Protein backbone atom coordinates (compact mmCIF):
# COMPACT_ATOMS: atom_id res chain seq x y z
CA UNK A 1 0.00 0.00 0.00
CA UNK A 2 1.30 3.42 -0.94
CA UNK A 3 0.36 7.00 -0.22
CA UNK A 4 -1.31 8.83 -3.08
CA UNK A 5 0.37 12.10 -3.97
CA UNK A 6 -2.31 13.34 -6.38
CA UNK A 7 -5.22 13.33 -3.93
CA UNK A 8 -7.97 15.88 -4.67
CA UNK A 9 -6.87 19.44 -3.88
CA UNK A 10 -9.74 20.99 -1.94
CA UNK A 11 -8.11 24.43 -1.94
CA UNK A 12 -8.22 24.44 -5.74
CA UNK A 13 -11.83 23.26 -5.71
CA UNK A 14 -12.76 26.05 -3.30
CA UNK A 15 -11.09 28.60 -5.58
CA UNK A 16 -13.14 27.38 -8.54
CA UNK A 17 -16.38 27.42 -6.53
CA UNK A 18 -15.70 30.95 -5.29
CA UNK A 19 -14.89 32.11 -8.81
CA UNK A 20 -18.17 30.70 -10.14
CA UNK A 21 -20.14 32.55 -7.47
CA UNK A 22 -18.25 35.79 -8.13
CA UNK A 23 -18.85 35.55 -11.88
CA UNK A 24 -22.55 34.88 -11.34
CA UNK A 25 -22.98 37.96 -9.14
CA UNK A 26 -21.06 40.15 -11.57
CA UNK A 27 -23.23 38.84 -14.40
CA UNK A 28 -26.42 39.96 -12.67
CA UNK A 29 -27.49 37.31 -10.17
CA UNK A 30 -28.91 38.55 -6.87
CA UNK A 31 -27.49 35.47 -5.14
CA UNK A 32 -25.62 32.37 -6.21
CA UNK A 33 -24.09 29.11 -5.03
CA UNK A 34 -21.62 26.73 -6.61
CA UNK A 35 -20.60 23.19 -5.83
CA UNK A 36 -17.82 21.15 -7.34
CA UNK A 37 -16.77 17.55 -6.92
CA UNK A 38 -13.71 15.60 -8.01
CA UNK A 39 -13.32 11.83 -7.78
CA UNK A 40 -10.80 9.17 -8.76
CA UNK A 41 -11.41 5.47 -8.41
CA UNK A 42 -10.11 2.11 -9.55
CA UNK A 43 -12.11 -1.12 -9.58
CA UNK A 44 -10.88 -4.56 -10.53
CA UNK A 45 -12.74 -7.86 -10.92
CA UNK A 46 -11.57 -11.45 -11.16
CA UNK A 47 -13.17 -14.78 -11.99
CA UNK A 48 -11.68 -18.22 -11.45
CA UNK A 49 -8.46 -16.67 -10.23
CA UNK A 50 -7.94 -14.68 -13.41
CA UNK A 51 -8.12 -10.94 -13.94
CA UNK A 52 -11.33 -10.13 -15.78
CA UNK A 53 -11.57 -6.36 -15.82
CA UNK A 54 -9.93 -3.24 -14.42
CA UNK A 55 -11.37 0.26 -14.69
CA UNK A 56 -9.96 3.63 -13.72
CA UNK A 57 -12.34 6.57 -13.64
CA UNK A 58 -11.78 10.25 -13.00
CA UNK A 59 -14.34 13.04 -12.92
CA UNK A 60 -14.48 16.75 -12.22
CA UNK A 61 -18.00 18.17 -12.26
CA UNK A 62 -19.57 21.37 -11.03
CA UNK A 63 -22.94 22.95 -10.59
CA UNK A 64 -24.08 26.53 -10.22
CA UNK A 65 -27.47 27.84 -9.05
CA UNK A 66 -28.46 31.48 -9.48
CA UNK A 67 -31.28 33.58 -8.07
CA UNK A 68 -32.97 36.62 -9.57
CA UNK A 69 -35.52 37.76 -7.03
CA UNK A 70 -37.65 34.67 -6.36
CA UNK A 71 -36.69 33.04 -9.63
CA UNK A 72 -33.97 30.41 -9.71
CA UNK A 73 -32.20 28.04 -12.08
CA UNK A 74 -29.28 25.67 -11.86
CA UNK A 75 -26.95 23.97 -14.31
CA UNK A 76 -24.52 21.08 -13.88
CA UNK A 77 -21.47 21.00 -16.15
CA UNK A 78 -17.91 19.76 -16.56
CA UNK A 79 -16.22 22.38 -18.77
CA UNK A 80 -14.35 24.40 -16.16
CA UNK A 81 -12.43 26.58 -18.56
CA UNK A 82 -13.01 30.32 -18.16
CA UNK A 83 -15.13 30.33 -21.30
CA UNK A 84 -17.05 27.30 -20.03
CA UNK A 85 -17.76 28.94 -16.69
CA UNK A 86 -19.04 32.14 -18.30
CA UNK A 87 -21.20 30.21 -20.75
CA UNK A 88 -22.85 28.17 -18.01
CA UNK A 89 -23.52 31.22 -15.86
CA UNK A 90 -25.09 33.00 -18.82
CA UNK A 91 -27.28 29.98 -19.48
CA UNK A 92 -28.33 29.73 -15.83
CA UNK A 93 -29.27 33.41 -15.69
CA UNK A 94 -31.34 33.12 -18.86
CA UNK A 95 -33.13 30.09 -17.42
CA UNK A 96 -33.80 31.88 -14.12
CA UNK A 97 -35.36 34.85 -15.91
CA UNK A 98 -37.75 32.45 -17.65
CA UNK A 99 -38.55 30.41 -14.52
CA UNK A 100 -41.71 30.91 -12.44
CA UNK A 101 -41.33 32.60 -9.08
CA UNK A 102 -40.82 30.35 -6.08
CA UNK A 103 -41.56 32.12 -2.77
CA UNK A 104 -39.36 29.64 -0.88
CA UNK A 105 -36.32 29.82 -3.17
CA UNK A 106 -33.27 31.44 -1.62
CA UNK A 107 -29.96 30.51 -0.07
CA UNK A 108 -29.75 29.45 3.55
CA UNK A 109 -29.77 32.40 5.93
CA UNK A 110 -26.26 33.58 6.80
CA UNK A 111 -26.81 33.19 10.54
CA UNK A 112 -27.48 29.46 10.07
CA UNK A 113 -24.22 28.73 8.25
CA UNK A 114 -21.59 26.51 9.85
CA UNK A 115 -18.88 29.07 10.58
CA UNK A 116 -16.84 26.63 12.67
CA UNK A 117 -17.63 23.12 11.40
CA UNK A 118 -15.94 20.11 13.03
CA UNK A 119 -12.85 18.58 11.45
CA UNK A 120 -13.93 15.05 10.59
CA UNK A 121 -11.66 12.13 9.77
CA UNK A 122 -13.06 10.91 6.44
CA UNK A 123 -10.00 10.71 4.20
CA UNK A 124 -7.25 8.08 4.10
CA UNK A 125 -4.37 9.04 1.81
CA UNK A 126 -3.26 5.48 1.06
CA UNK A 127 -4.07 3.76 -2.20
CA UNK A 128 -4.37 0.24 -3.55
CA UNK A 129 -2.46 -0.45 -6.73
CA UNK A 130 -3.58 -3.05 -9.31
CA UNK A 131 -1.58 -5.82 -7.64
CA UNK A 132 -3.21 -5.20 -4.25
CA UNK A 133 -6.68 -4.93 -5.75
CA UNK A 134 -6.21 -8.21 -7.59
CA UNK A 135 -4.86 -9.91 -4.47
CA UNK A 136 -7.85 -8.82 -2.38
CA UNK A 137 -10.35 -9.93 -5.03
CA UNK A 138 -8.63 -13.30 -5.43
CA UNK A 139 -8.58 -13.87 -1.67
CA UNK A 140 -12.31 -13.17 -1.40
CA UNK A 141 -13.06 -15.49 -4.32
CA UNK A 142 -10.86 -18.26 -2.95
CA UNK A 143 -12.62 -18.16 0.42
CA UNK A 144 -16.05 -18.19 -1.22
CA UNK A 145 -15.22 -21.07 -3.57
CA UNK A 146 -13.91 -23.11 -0.64
CA UNK A 147 -17.45 -23.45 0.71
CA UNK A 148 -19.05 -26.77 -0.18
CA UNK A 149 -21.81 -26.35 -2.75
CA UNK A 150 -20.43 -23.20 -4.40
CA UNK A 151 -19.80 -24.07 -8.04
CA UNK A 152 -18.85 -20.85 -9.80
CA UNK A 153 -18.08 -17.18 -9.39
CA UNK A 154 -20.36 -14.46 -10.68
CA UNK A 155 -17.80 -11.77 -9.82
CA UNK A 156 -15.21 -10.97 -7.19
CA UNK A 157 -14.04 -7.38 -6.95
CA UNK A 158 -11.92 -4.87 -5.08
CA UNK A 159 -11.95 -1.09 -5.42
CA UNK A 160 -10.72 2.11 -3.90
CA UNK A 161 -11.57 5.72 -4.53
CA UNK A 162 -10.82 9.21 -3.30
CA UNK A 163 -12.82 12.35 -3.76
CA UNK A 164 -12.92 16.02 -2.91
CA UNK A 165 -15.66 18.61 -2.96
CA UNK A 166 -16.29 22.28 -2.28
CA UNK A 167 -19.34 24.44 -1.77
CA UNK A 168 -19.49 28.25 -1.91
CA UNK A 169 -22.26 30.83 -1.67
CA UNK A 170 -22.63 34.56 -2.22
CA UNK A 171 -23.38 34.87 1.50
CA UNK A 172 -19.72 34.15 2.26
CA UNK A 173 -19.64 30.40 2.82
CA UNK A 174 -16.78 28.46 1.21
CA UNK A 175 -15.68 25.08 2.51
CA UNK A 176 -14.08 21.97 1.10
CA UNK A 177 -13.62 18.39 2.25
CA UNK A 178 -12.14 15.07 1.15
CA UNK A 179 -13.32 11.48 1.48
CA UNK A 180 -11.98 8.03 0.63
CA UNK A 181 -13.50 4.58 0.22
CA UNK A 182 -12.07 1.05 0.02
CA UNK A 183 -14.07 -2.10 -0.64
CA UNK A 184 -14.08 -5.71 -1.80
CA UNK A 185 -16.61 -8.50 -2.11
CA UNK A 186 -17.91 -11.36 -4.20
CA UNK A 187 -21.06 -12.79 -5.72
CA UNK A 188 -20.99 -16.56 -6.20
CA UNK A 189 -23.32 -19.27 -7.50
CA UNK A 190 -24.40 -22.68 -6.27
CA UNK A 191 -25.91 -24.92 -8.95
CA UNK A 192 -27.84 -28.16 -8.33
CA UNK A 193 -29.68 -30.11 -11.04
CA UNK A 194 -29.60 -27.13 -13.38
CA UNK A 195 -31.06 -24.71 -10.83
CA UNK A 196 -28.79 -21.88 -9.72
CA UNK A 197 -28.81 -19.78 -6.58
CA UNK A 198 -26.74 -16.63 -6.15
CA UNK A 199 -25.77 -14.50 -3.15
CA UNK A 200 -23.02 -12.10 -2.18
CA UNK A 201 -21.10 -10.41 0.60
CA UNK A 202 -19.07 -7.20 0.57
CA UNK A 203 -17.42 -4.73 2.89
CA UNK A 204 -16.56 -1.06 2.45
CA UNK A 205 -14.86 1.50 4.67
CA UNK A 206 -13.17 4.88 4.46
CA UNK A 207 -9.87 3.37 5.63
CA UNK A 208 -8.54 -0.14 4.94
CA UNK A 209 -8.11 -1.03 8.60
CA UNK A 210 -11.87 -0.90 9.16
CA UNK A 211 -12.66 -3.51 6.50
CA UNK A 212 -13.71 -7.01 7.42
CA UNK A 213 -11.14 -9.59 6.32
CA UNK A 214 -11.18 -11.10 2.84
CA UNK A 215 -11.60 -14.54 4.45
CA UNK A 216 -14.63 -13.35 6.41
CA UNK A 217 -16.30 -11.78 3.38
CA UNK A 218 -15.59 -14.69 1.04
CA UNK A 219 -16.80 -17.22 3.58
CA UNK A 220 -20.01 -15.26 4.15
CA UNK A 221 -20.68 -15.02 0.41
CA UNK A 222 -20.15 -18.76 -0.02
CA UNK A 223 -22.19 -19.83 2.99
CA UNK A 224 -25.10 -17.55 2.17
CA UNK A 225 -25.18 -18.94 -1.36
CA UNK A 226 -24.87 -22.62 -0.40
CA UNK A 227 -27.71 -22.33 2.13
CA UNK A 228 -30.09 -21.06 -0.56
CA UNK A 229 -29.99 -24.22 -2.66
CA UNK A 230 -33.33 -26.01 -3.14
CA UNK A 231 -35.78 -23.30 -2.13
CA UNK A 232 -39.43 -24.20 -1.66
CA UNK A 233 -42.65 -22.26 -1.91
CA UNK A 234 -44.91 -21.89 1.10
CA UNK A 235 -48.62 -21.46 1.68
CA UNK A 236 -50.06 -17.97 1.96
CA UNK A 237 -51.09 -16.78 5.39
CA UNK A 238 -50.25 -14.54 8.31
CA UNK A 239 -46.86 -15.28 9.86
CA UNK A 240 -44.37 -13.74 12.27
CA UNK A 241 -41.38 -12.47 10.29
CA UNK A 242 -37.76 -11.79 11.17
CA UNK A 243 -35.92 -9.48 8.76
CA UNK A 244 -32.15 -10.02 8.61
CA UNK A 245 -30.16 -6.87 9.39
CA UNK A 246 -28.98 -6.63 5.78
CA UNK A 247 -32.55 -6.01 4.61
CA UNK A 248 -34.02 -4.46 7.77
CA UNK A 249 -32.55 -1.08 6.82
CA UNK A 250 -35.35 -0.99 4.21
CA UNK A 251 -37.63 0.18 7.00
CA UNK A 252 -35.24 3.01 7.83
CA UNK A 253 -35.27 4.01 4.16
CA UNK A 254 -39.06 4.15 4.17
CA UNK A 255 -39.01 6.21 7.37
CA UNK A 256 -36.51 8.67 5.89
CA UNK A 257 -38.60 9.13 2.76
CA UNK A 258 -41.72 9.76 4.82
CA UNK A 259 -40.12 12.44 7.00
CA UNK A 260 -38.31 14.24 4.18
CA UNK A 261 -39.31 17.90 4.35
CA UNK A 262 -40.08 18.28 0.64
CA UNK A 263 -42.40 15.24 0.76
CA UNK A 264 -44.13 16.47 3.92
CA UNK A 265 -44.52 19.97 2.45
CA UNK A 266 -46.22 18.45 -0.61
CA UNK A 267 -48.44 16.33 1.63
CA UNK A 268 -47.07 13.13 0.10
CA UNK A 269 -46.18 11.23 3.27
CA UNK A 270 -47.96 8.61 5.33
CA UNK A 271 -46.42 10.25 8.42
CA UNK A 272 -47.43 13.83 7.55
CA UNK A 273 -49.64 14.16 10.66
CA UNK A 274 -47.36 12.27 13.05
CA UNK A 275 -44.76 14.84 14.16
CA UNK A 276 -44.43 14.64 17.94
CA UNK A 277 -46.56 11.50 18.02
CA UNK A 278 -45.64 7.88 18.85
CA UNK A 279 -44.80 6.07 15.61
CA UNK A 280 -42.81 3.10 16.93
CA UNK A 281 -42.94 1.22 20.21
CA UNK A 282 -41.51 3.06 23.21
CA UNK A 283 -38.32 0.93 23.18
CA UNK A 284 -37.36 2.19 19.70
CA UNK A 285 -34.83 4.97 19.12
CA UNK A 286 -33.45 6.00 15.73
CA UNK A 287 -30.43 8.30 15.62
CA UNK A 288 -28.83 10.44 12.92
CA UNK A 289 -25.14 11.16 13.58
CA UNK A 290 -23.45 13.42 10.99
CA UNK A 291 -20.14 13.85 12.83
CA UNK A 292 -18.91 10.27 13.29
CA UNK A 293 -15.29 9.92 12.16
CA UNK A 294 -14.76 7.49 9.27
CA UNK A 295 -18.48 6.86 8.82
CA UNK A 296 -20.01 6.54 5.36
CA UNK A 297 -22.54 9.38 5.57
CA UNK A 298 -20.68 11.88 7.74
CA UNK A 299 -20.52 15.56 6.82
CA UNK A 300 -19.24 18.60 8.77
CA UNK A 301 -22.25 20.63 7.56
CA UNK A 302 -25.25 19.98 5.37
CA UNK A 303 -25.69 20.52 1.64
CA UNK A 304 -26.50 24.22 2.09
CA UNK A 305 -23.60 24.90 4.45
CA UNK A 306 -25.83 25.03 7.53
CA UNK A 307 -25.04 23.56 10.93
CA UNK A 308 -25.89 19.89 11.35
CA UNK A 309 -25.90 17.99 14.61
CA UNK A 310 -26.57 14.55 16.09
CA UNK A 311 -30.16 13.98 17.06
CA UNK A 312 -32.68 11.27 17.87
CA UNK A 313 -35.09 11.17 14.93
CA UNK A 314 -37.23 8.70 16.82
CA UNK A 315 -36.93 9.10 20.59
CA UNK A 316 -38.45 6.20 22.55
CA UNK A 317 -40.95 5.66 19.77
CA UNK A 318 -41.88 9.30 19.19
CA UNK A 319 -41.17 11.14 15.91
CA UNK A 320 -39.20 14.26 16.86
CA UNK A 321 -38.35 16.00 13.57
CA UNK A 322 -38.64 16.24 9.82
CA UNK A 323 -35.58 16.30 7.56
CA UNK A 324 -35.72 19.97 6.53
CA UNK A 325 -33.66 21.91 4.04
CA UNK A 326 -34.14 25.67 3.88
CA UNK A 327 -36.90 25.66 1.26
CA UNK A 328 -39.06 23.00 2.91
CA UNK A 329 -38.52 24.66 6.31
CA UNK A 330 -39.84 27.95 4.93
CA UNK A 331 -42.78 26.17 3.34
CA UNK A 332 -43.67 24.49 6.64
CA UNK A 333 -42.86 27.61 8.70
CA UNK A 334 -40.21 25.75 10.68
CA UNK A 335 -36.46 26.01 11.23
CA UNK A 336 -34.07 24.04 8.98
CA UNK A 337 -32.70 20.92 10.65
CA UNK A 338 -29.36 20.70 8.81
CA UNK A 339 -30.45 17.82 6.56
CA UNK A 340 -30.05 19.41 3.11
CA UNK A 341 -28.49 17.10 0.50
CA UNK A 342 -26.50 18.70 -2.29
CA UNK A 343 -27.51 18.27 -5.94
CA UNK A 344 -25.13 19.53 -8.61
CA UNK A 345 -26.88 22.31 -10.47
CA UNK A 346 -30.23 21.98 -8.74
CA UNK A 347 -32.06 22.73 -5.49
CA UNK A 348 -30.96 20.55 -2.57
CA UNK A 349 -32.97 17.62 -1.36
CA UNK A 350 -33.28 16.52 2.26
CA UNK A 351 -32.29 13.34 4.05
CA UNK A 352 -30.17 11.70 6.76
CA UNK A 353 -26.41 11.35 7.17
CA UNK A 354 -25.51 8.30 9.30
CA UNK A 355 -28.79 6.90 10.53
CA UNK A 356 -29.28 3.79 12.63
CA UNK A 357 -31.91 1.95 14.61
CA UNK A 358 -30.59 1.25 18.10
CA UNK A 359 -30.07 -2.40 19.02
CA UNK A 360 -32.56 -4.28 21.16
CA UNK A 361 -32.00 -6.76 23.97
CA UNK A 362 -32.65 -10.11 22.24
CA UNK A 363 -30.39 -11.84 19.74
CA UNK A 364 -31.72 -12.82 16.34
CA UNK A 365 -31.27 -16.46 17.36
CA UNK A 366 -33.45 -15.97 20.45
CA UNK A 367 -36.12 -14.31 18.32
CA UNK A 368 -36.11 -17.27 15.93
CA UNK A 369 -36.18 -19.73 18.84
CA UNK A 370 -39.45 -18.21 20.03
CA UNK A 371 -41.24 -18.67 16.68
CA UNK A 372 -43.24 -21.87 16.10
CA UNK A 373 -44.12 -21.13 12.47
CA UNK A 374 -42.63 -18.12 10.69
CA UNK A 375 -40.30 -16.64 8.12
CA UNK A 376 -36.72 -15.31 8.12
CA UNK A 377 -36.27 -12.80 5.28
CA UNK A 378 -32.76 -12.58 3.82
CA UNK A 379 -33.35 -10.77 0.52
CA UNK A 380 -35.89 -8.31 -0.85
CA UNK A 381 -36.72 -7.30 -4.41
CA UNK A 382 -39.35 -5.22 -6.22
CA UNK A 383 -40.72 -3.20 -3.28
CA UNK A 384 -43.94 -1.24 -3.70
CA UNK A 385 -44.92 1.62 -1.40
CA UNK A 386 -47.90 3.95 -1.43
CA UNK A 387 -46.27 7.10 -0.03
CA UNK A 388 -49.66 8.54 1.00
CA UNK A 389 -51.00 5.56 2.94
CA UNK A 390 -47.93 3.52 3.89
CA UNK A 391 -49.25 0.36 2.22
CA UNK A 392 -46.16 -1.70 1.43
CA UNK A 393 -45.30 -5.00 -0.23
CA UNK A 394 -42.10 -6.64 -1.38
CA UNK A 395 -40.86 -9.87 -2.91
CA UNK A 396 -38.61 -11.85 -0.59
CA UNK A 397 -36.56 -14.98 -0.20
CA UNK A 398 -35.15 -16.51 2.95
CA UNK A 399 -35.92 -19.41 5.23
CA UNK A 400 -38.95 -21.06 6.79
CA UNK A 401 -38.87 -21.15 10.58
CA UNK A 402 -40.43 -24.20 12.24
CA UNK A 403 -40.43 -25.01 15.94
CA UNK A 404 -37.87 -22.33 16.69
CA UNK A 405 -35.35 -23.45 14.09
CA UNK A 406 -34.43 -22.56 10.51
CA UNK A 407 -36.01 -25.38 8.51
CA UNK A 408 -35.38 -24.85 4.77
CA UNK A 409 -34.84 -22.11 2.15
CA UNK A 410 -37.87 -20.47 0.55
CA UNK A 411 -38.41 -18.13 -2.40
CA UNK A 412 -41.11 -16.62 -4.64
CA UNK A 413 -42.85 -15.07 -1.66
CA UNK A 414 -44.28 -11.64 -0.95
CA UNK A 415 -44.77 -9.97 2.40
CA UNK A 416 -47.09 -7.03 2.83
CA UNK A 417 -48.55 -4.69 5.39
CA UNK A 418 -49.05 -1.07 6.31
CA UNK A 419 -45.86 0.63 7.48
CA UNK A 420 -47.63 2.59 10.22
CA UNK A 421 -48.79 -0.72 11.69
CA UNK A 422 -45.44 -2.42 11.05
CA UNK A 423 -43.50 0.40 12.71
CA UNK A 424 -45.74 0.14 15.77
CA UNK A 425 -45.00 -3.60 16.20
CA UNK A 426 -41.36 -3.70 15.10
CA UNK A 427 -38.86 -5.15 17.62
CA UNK A 428 -35.09 -4.79 17.05
CA UNK A 429 -32.58 -7.55 17.76
CA UNK A 430 -29.17 -7.03 19.34
CA UNK A 431 -27.03 -7.61 16.21
CA UNK A 432 -26.52 -4.01 15.06
CA UNK A 433 -23.35 -3.45 13.01
CA UNK A 434 -22.23 -0.27 11.26
CA UNK A 435 -21.39 -1.07 7.64
CA UNK A 436 -22.87 1.84 5.69
CA UNK A 437 -24.75 5.12 6.08
CA UNK A 438 -28.02 3.38 7.03
CA UNK A 439 -27.76 0.60 9.62
CA UNK A 440 -30.24 -1.58 11.44
CA UNK A 441 -30.17 -4.72 13.53
CA UNK A 442 -32.39 -7.59 12.50
CA UNK A 443 -36.02 -6.83 13.33
CA UNK A 444 -39.06 -8.90 14.26
CA UNK A 445 -42.69 -8.23 13.33
CA UNK A 446 -45.19 -10.50 15.06
CA UNK A 447 -47.61 -10.88 12.14
CA UNK A 448 -47.46 -10.01 8.45
CA UNK A 449 -49.39 -11.05 5.36
CA UNK A 450 -47.28 -13.61 3.49
CA UNK A 451 -48.15 -14.52 -0.08
CA UNK A 452 -46.98 -17.86 -1.45
CA UNK A 453 -48.88 -20.70 -3.10
User: What is the torsional sign of CA 422, 423, 429, 432?
Assistant: positive
**Mean pLDDT of all residues in 194-201:** 91
| Contact criterion met (CB below 8 Å) for 63 and 78 | no
Q: Name the residue ranges covered by the structural domains of the chain.
A: 2-224, 231-453
What is the pLDDT at residue 136? Answer: 99
What is the pLDDT at residue 1? Answer: 60
What are the DSSP E strand ranges found in 231-343? 237-243, 286-288, 311-315, 318-319, 340-343
User: How far apart (Å, rounded) are the C-alpha atoms in residues 373 and 453?
Assistant: 16
Query: Measured at the alpha carbon of residue 169, what is the angle toward residues 345 and 118, in degrees to the nearest 5?
Result: 105
User: How far apart (Å, rounded) are the C-alpha atoms in residues 259 and 238?
Assistant: 29
Name the pTM for this structure.
Answer: 0.95
Confidence of residue 301 (pLDDT cuts 50, 70, 90): very high
**Mean pLDDT of all residues in 194-216:** 96
Q: Domain 2-224 belongs to what topology? A: PmbA/TldD fold (3.30.2290)
State yes or no: pLDDT of 2 exceeds 90: no
How much is the mean pLDDT over the chain? 96
Tell me the pLDDT tens digit for each residue of 226-269. Answer: 999 999 999 999 999 999 999 999 999 999 999 999 999 999 99
**Mean pLDDT of all residues in 302-317:** 98
State yes or no: pLDDT of 5 exceeds 60: no
Amino acid sequence: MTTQSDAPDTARLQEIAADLVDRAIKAGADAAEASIGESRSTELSVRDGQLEDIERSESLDAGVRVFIGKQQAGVAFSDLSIAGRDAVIGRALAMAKAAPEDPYAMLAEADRLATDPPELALFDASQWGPAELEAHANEVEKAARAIEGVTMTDAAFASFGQGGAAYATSTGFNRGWRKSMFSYGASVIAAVDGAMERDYAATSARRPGDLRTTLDIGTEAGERTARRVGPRKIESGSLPVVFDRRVASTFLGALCGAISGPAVARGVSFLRDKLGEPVFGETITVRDEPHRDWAHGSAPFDGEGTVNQPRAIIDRGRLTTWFLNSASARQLDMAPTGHAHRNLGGPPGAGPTNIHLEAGASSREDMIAGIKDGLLVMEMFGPSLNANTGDWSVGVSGYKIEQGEIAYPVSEITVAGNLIEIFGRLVPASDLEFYGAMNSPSVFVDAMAVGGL
